[in-house]
């Protein structure tokens, strides 16, 4: 069968999440039968490979591939997936995340209608249980749509996260330009993305959410986020490969965007890591010195004040002083960040309380409206009473009946008075404006008493 899209899923120890990822593929509005799914297991030690095999046995459009040994990163499984893909277009899905229901349809429509090399959209971050953390990760003020012939034409494209799982590629474009993932290192998707950006003849971005990226609570997103010596070796390698790609395409001037994006990231992670010694940190800084040197040559400085001081010491190769400074200041910075979090929590609590008070105020306003309505009814009752009194002068028998009605009405008014007093007692502390209504009601009550006395006097006179 000719599939519209091949979706490549690298797998490693994700037995808990893989079924949800597969369910999101089955729900695709373009039809699951139009999608080829290639599951590549990187020698998992849990039930992941068996789950993948089960999906393949139940669905003719699902292929399950097992690697004989673990590569330690998603690069090799993804490369294997590309080689086995049969559709015209390819996409990537991480097994602990999942697509929105129309993800494949939206991306397929854009790339096929525009006949470009690749298209991509945006994503949201979600928690372990699937609740939304951040609904859109785009930088502030970023355009909702970019239709560009090349990365040179619109350099903003380099500012977006290098995630490959919100993108769709022409398979022929990937193969003809020898675009592949570096293997056995972290951040290989970063290199793949840079290579694709530099090679593309036609790139389209649209700000629709097509992907749910899960932030795990009790464990790192993947092995890529363990800040050990291997991690920093991979980061250095991937950034160096990207630098070489910019040179290969004679686009060295664009690398400054990458430098600005990752300078603070590199400094913070190196000094923050608790998994490497000070001696290892110094070795890592030496290996990455080319990166910091490029930043200096391009006049790029860290955005963070602490990182700026560390950067100055790094450039002067005063590594021990930089480590001492960080170890002295970091606890204070950490306390400050905790204080900021508490301030944000306090702000949210205040906003919740204000919302509650506003709701209560609206409730009181509704009561005032009811009281005004009741007061209008009393005014209408007064008018009716006056009409009855006028008619009683002409017809004594009718007047006697009116007197009976009046007594009943007066009783009702007395009950209304009691009800009003209860309501006013309940809300006089919260709504000061009710005092005006209470005064009006007291005046009206006095008029009723005077009317009653006048009526009784007239009756006695008769």
Instruction: Delimit the domains of the chain by residue range.
Output: 1-225, 228-317, 366-461
pLDDT of residue 245: 97
pLDDT of residue 116: 96
Determine the Cα–Cα distance for residues 236 and 185; give it in Å rounded to an integer: 10
Are the C-beta atoms of residues 215 and 221 closer than 8 Å to each other?
yes
Determine the Cα–Cα distance for residues 233 and 288; give it in Å rounded to an integer: 9
Exposure string over 201-217, b if 16+ CB within 10 A, otherwise e: ebbbbbebbbbbbbeee
Q: Of the candidates 124, 76, 97, which has an alpha carbon nearest to the alpha carbon of residue 25? A: 97
Whether 328 has a pLDDT exceeding 90, the answer reads no
Q: Give 304-326 pLDDT, tens digit per residue.
A: 888 999 999 999 999 999 999 88
Percent of the chain with pLDDT over 70: 81
Q: Pick from 151-165, 168-182, 223-237 the range whose average pLDDT is largest.
A: 168-182
Token pair belonging to 308: 């700026």
Helix (H) or strand (E) holding 373: helix 319-392
Q: What is the mean pLDDT of the chain?
A: 86
Burial of 141 (0-12, 13-18, 19+ CB in 10 A): exposed
Q: Give 177-204 pLDDT, tens digit per residue.
A: 999 999 998 899 999 999 999 999 999 9
Whether 15 has a pLDDT exceeding 60, the answer reads yes
Give the sign of the dihedral formed by CA 56, CA 62, CA 65, CA 70: negative
Q: Which residues pair with 134 in a beta bridge?
A: 125
Q: Assign domain 1-225 to its CATH superfamily.
A: Spore Coat Polysaccharide Biosynthesis Protein SpsA; Chain A (3.90.550.10)
Start-to-end C-alpha separation, the chain: 106
Whether 221 has a pLDDT exceeding 50, the answer reads no
Are the C-beta atoms of residues 309 and 257 closer than 8 Å to each other?
no
Q: Which of helix, strand or coil describes residue 406? A: helix
Question: DSSP state, 155?
Answer: G
Q: Which of helix, strand or coil describes residue 74? A: coil
Helix (H) or strand (E) holding 122: strand 118-126
Q: What is the DSSP string of 144-178?
A: SEEEES-TTT-GGGGGS---STTEEEEHHHHHHTT
Q: Give 272-310 pLDDT, tens digit per residue.
A: 888 999 999 999 999 999 999 999 999 999 998 889 999
Q: Would the pTM of this model clear 0.85, i.e. be above it?
A: no
Q: Which of helix, strand or coil describes residue 371? A: helix
Residue 250 dihedral angles phi and psi, to the nearest 5°: 55, 40
Q: Which residues pair with 123 in a beta bridge?
A: 211
Question: DSSP state, 33?
Answer: G
Are the C-beta atoms of residues 123 and 212 closer than 8 Å to each other?
yes
pLDDT of residue 301: 94
Q: 304 Cβ partners below 8 Å, 6+ apart? A: 264, 267, 268
Count of C-beta atoms within a 10 Å radius of residue 81: 24
Q: Give 246-279 pLDDT, tens digit per residue.
A: 999 999 999 999 999 999 999 999 998 889 999 9
Cα angle 295-243-261, degrees, rounded to a multiple of 5? 50
Q: Of the candidates 414, 395, 397, which has an alpha carbon nearest to the alpha carbon of residue 452? A: 414
Are the C-beta atoms of residues 417 and 445 closer than 8 Å to each other?
yes
Q: Which residues pair with 13 in a beta bridge?
A: none
Mean pLDDT of 197-224: 80
Q: Which of helix, strand or coil describes residue 59? A: coil
pLDDT of residue 274: 87
More confident residue, 234 or 351: 234
Burial of 14 (0-12, 13-18, 19+ CB in 10 A): buried
């Amino acid at each position: 069968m000719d599939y519209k899209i091949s979706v490549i899923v690298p797998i490693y120890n994700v037995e808990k999440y893989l079924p949800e990822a597969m369910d999101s593929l089955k729900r695709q509005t373009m039809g699951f039968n139009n999608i080829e799914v290639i599951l590549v297991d990187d020698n998992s030690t849990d039930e992941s490979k068996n789950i993948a095999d089960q999906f393949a046995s139940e669905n003719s459009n699902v292929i399950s591939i097992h690697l004989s040994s673990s590569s330690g990163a998603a690069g090799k499984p993804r490369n294997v997936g590309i080689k086995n893909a049969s559709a015209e277009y390819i996409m990537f899905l991480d097994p602990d995340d999942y697509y929105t229901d129309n993800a494949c349809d939206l991306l397929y429509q854009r790339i096929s209608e525009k006949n470009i090399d690749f298209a991509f959209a945006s994503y949201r971050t979600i928690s372990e249980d699937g609740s939304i953390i951040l609904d859109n990760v785009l930088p502030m003020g970023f355009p909702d749509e970019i239709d560009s012939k090349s990365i040179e034409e619109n350099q903003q494209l380099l500012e977006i996260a290098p995630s490959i799982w919100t993108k769709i590629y022409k398979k022929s474009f990937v193969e003809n330009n020898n675009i592949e993932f570096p293997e056995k290192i972290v951040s290989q998707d970063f290199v793949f993305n840079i290579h694709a950006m530099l090679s593309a003849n036609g790139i389209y971005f649209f700000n629709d959410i097509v992907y749910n990226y899960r932030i795990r609570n009790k464990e790192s997103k993947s092995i890529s986020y363990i800040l050990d010596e291997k991690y920093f070796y991979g980061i250095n390698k991937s950034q160096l490969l990207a630098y070489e790609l910019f040179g290969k395409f004679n686009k060295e001037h664009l690398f400054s965007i990458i430098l600005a994006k990752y300078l603070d990231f590199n400094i913070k992670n190196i000094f923050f890591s608790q998994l490497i010694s000070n001696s290892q940190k110094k070795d890592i800084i030496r290996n990455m010195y080319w990166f910091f040197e490029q930043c200096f040559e391009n006049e790029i400085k860290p955005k963070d004040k602490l990182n700026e001081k560390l950067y100055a010491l790094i450039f002067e190769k005063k590594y021990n002083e930089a480590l001492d400074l960080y170890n002295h200041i970091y606890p204070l910075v950490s306390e400050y960040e905790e204080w900021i979090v508490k301030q944000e929590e306090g702000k949210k609590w205040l906003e919740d309380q204000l919302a509650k008070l506003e709701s209560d105020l609206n409730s009181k306003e509704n009561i005032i409206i009811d009281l005004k309505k009741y007061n209008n009814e009393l005014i209408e009752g007064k008018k009716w009473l006056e009409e009855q009194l006028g008619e009683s002068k002409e017809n004594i028998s009718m007047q006697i009946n009116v007197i009976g009605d009046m007594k009943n009405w007066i009783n009702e008014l007395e009950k209304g008075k009691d009800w009003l007093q209860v309501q006013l007692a309940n809300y006089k502390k919260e709504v000061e404006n009710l005092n005006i209504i209470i005064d009006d009601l007291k005046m009206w009550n006095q008029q009723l008493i005077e009317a009653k006395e006048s009526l009784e006097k007239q009756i006695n006179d008769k």
